[in-house]
Amino acid sequence: MEGNNKHTKRLVNNKSHIRINHSGYEGAVKEDGRGLSVWDTFSLSPGKIQGNSNADVAVDQYHRYEEDIQLMKDMGMDAYRFSISWTRIFPNGSGVVNQAGIDHYNKLIDALLAKGIEPYVTLYHWDLPQALEDKYNGWLSPLIIKDFAAYAQTCFQKFGDRVKHWITFNEPHTFAMMGSGNSATEPYIVAHNVLLSHSIVADIYRKKYQKIQGGFVGISLDVIWFESATNSKDDIEATQRALDFTLGWFLDPLIFGDYPKSMKSRVGRRLPKFTKSQASLVKGSFDFVGINHYTTFYAMHNGSNTLRAALHDYISDAGALTVPFNGTEIIGERANSLWLYIVPQGMKSLMNYIKHKYGNPLVIITENGMDDPNDPSISIKDALNDEKRISYHNDYLTNLLASIKEDGCNVRGYFVWSLLDNWEWQAGYTSRFGLFFIDYNDNLKRYPKKSVEWFKKFLN
């Protein structure tokens, strides 16, 4: 990582990064020995994905990575965040390495570096090997810690001579919360096993690889910023709890070695405990914190739902209702996704919160962006005119820069979500986040939206 002034200068000089996730891009799910992931299984269940699509082909970056890298190069991008598919390396989650998977990522990494684009690699973006889910319930079992560590170490060995930035997990809060059956206990167990896995992998990297390879390890956390719906004490306290139960759930252990006090008191025995040695391993187990930030919500005290509170689940445990309106006004203009409201000043508030509460750790914005609908009635020509996206990035970047220059927040990089329209998880192909339009009806042709030209000028 560069020194603070140097990197602030780099942001001022408009150097930027762009990122993807492999699940929505890569495709080729049955090629070259790749094993089945839980998302392959999930997407084949009727009614789970909007439009009943799956990511078997996605936008076919597996075969088109050279073309896509050229698009980045032409824009002036200097870094690319992508994910490695665990089941390409270990088709069954553990056991024998699949050489074809190693070969593919070697080619991708080398092609990026040949164009002067630095790879930022995410090890886990929600695609648990189905074999480990079947074998021991995946993240609900501590057995996964050893298998994840073996997978991560294989990646360090095979790619670490060229990859200098590693992200262990993408949005653990999302998959702990959304992927669980018994929501009174399972999200907390999953999150605990993820934090232990992250800390052990970071420890392995630091002890065995960091000195030789000269890289850095971090984790990417999803954060909605919350504003109190009113000035009442109850709502202000609920806003803090909302932050504790999302960002604090992961960042408190990483910075302080334990879960937030509000979580411990409200979840009680259902919240797993760190042993002394685990706490000391988790605390400080990162070189940077990745932040995925898109939107801001209002938060208010939720004391009415006594039945739900009696049942105990992750949502009611926080005692906070988080919504995009406060009774009189909507917090901002909506993008396409139901959860995505455009509130640029939330970026500045969030960066300052992390600075003051957590001692100004090194932050990289690992995701930021907005989506348009995939509307077949809109012509491609009109779809390329994405003024709303341009103004979104302009305003969020302006607030990010202000947090660095005016407030001294320790932010050293920014990735757009996303380079291309893609298969967007449960939204399937109904949502378009890309700077490049993908024509799903014509051989997945890539067309630059107006935002591409804007970023090109911004970067020059």
Active site residues: 171, 367
Which spans in 48-120 are helix H?
61-75, 86-89, 99-114
Per the CB < 8 A criterion, the answer to whether 245 and 320 are in contact is yes
Name the residue among 192, 153, 150 with its Cα closest to residue 172.
192
Name residues whose C-beta falls within 8 Å of residue 177's C-beta, 6 or more positions apart in sequence. Answer: 183, 187, 314
Per the CB < 8 A criterion, the answer to whether 343 and 296 are in contact is yes
Q: Please list, residue by residue across 84-95, b when 16 or more beta carbons sit within 10 angstroms of its beta carbon and e when fewer do.
A: bbbbbbbbbbbe
Which letter does DSSP use for residue 207 in this model?
I
Matching residue, tokens 């009680």: 268
- Exposed/middle/buried for residue 307 (C-beta within 10 Å: 0-12, 13-18, 19+): exposed
Q: For the CA atoms of 189, 190, 192, 198, what is the dihedral angle to 10 degrees? A: 160
Matching residue, tokens 């991008």: 77
- Exposed/middle/buried for residue 246 (C-beta within 10 Å: 0-12, 13-18, 19+): buried
Per the CB < 8 A criterion, the answer to whether 414 and 14 are in contact is no
Residue 58 zone, left/alpha/beta (φ > 0; ψ -120 to 50; rest): left
Per the CB < 8 A criterion, the answer to whether 434 and 421 are in contact is yes
Residue type, 149: A
Per the CB < 8 A criterion, the answer to whether 21 and 86 are in contact is no
DSSP string, 13-65: TT--EEE--STTT---TTSTTPPPBHHHHHHTSTTSSGGG--SSSTT-HHHHH
What is the SS3 assignment for 204? helix
For the chain, the distance separating the N- and C-terminal CA atoms, rounded to the nearest angstrom, is 22
Name the pairing type of β-strands 333-334 and 341-342. antiparallel
Matching residue, tokens 């051989």: 443
